Amino acid sequence: MIQNPDPQTFSGAVIGADVGATLVKLAIRTQHGRTRLQLASTQAIEEVARDIESAGPERVGITGGGAPELAQLLSFDTTRADEFEAWRRGAREILQEDASHRADRYLLVSLGTGTSAMLVEGETVTRLGGTALGGGTLMGLGAALVETTSFDELVALARKGDRRRVDLLVSDIYRSGEAPLPDDLSASSFGKLAHSASETRPSPTPADLAHAIVGLVAENVALICNGLAAAAQVQQIVFAGSTLRTNAPMVEILGFVAATGGHEVVFLENGEFSGALGALAIAAA
């Protein structure tokens, strides 16, 4: 929800909203040029709409799958922003703050409930592909295997776990150096669960399972993106999205696997707000 949705505070403001399957990402820029970033649950979209109404912004740009629903809940006209163009603009704004990672051509990866990979070339953006693996997969498997429906609880568990007790690794099949792959890369996600526990292979804990869930999603997303980047002859892969928020285990695995493909890996700070920032920029133009 918008904190202190006071018309005096937001008079002349422009709001960008990215309405996803799970979260509403809001970027609020006041007439003084200050930008506030906020998250809300998509299940509370009616409350979000009331807060936007009461704030009385000058313009509102909306994007994402839930954009039509939010537009219907508002009594004034909004600017509908193409989702991929909004992501391109928002990511560019964040990247411009760090000259070391600035590039004209890169693969932009949005890791939300699912995952989309976009080729950014200057002022154009094209979706190259994606996967149904994403934050929705984390939450679904988390509910089934470790009995939690809380994203924060699942990530906290994963931080304490070791997926090597769950996943069959390259090093479990080949001696070190025999395969042209890193020893710690998974040969089969959850592969060790097919074998009974023994003194040398203890039963995995819920934390180990949580870490393996994160690894399953992160490794496969990274491998898919490596292939897309190679096909497009792109060196830099830029990862962003709400699934990465406070998710150090996923960032670590994504970075490791993507780097094995020889790519420069960038994680956008506040990258989950790329779409909202882009929608704001489109509305303000």
The catalytic residue positions are 83
Q: Which tokens belong to 262?
A: 């020889």
Bridge partner list, 35: 29
Which DSSP string corresponds to 251-285? Answer: HHHHHHHHHHTT-EEEE-TTGGGHHHHHHHHHHH-
Bridge partner list, 39: 25
Q: CA 134, 106, 24 angle in degrees (round to 5)?
A: 40
Q: CA 158, 164, 170 angle in degrees (round to 5)?
A: 135
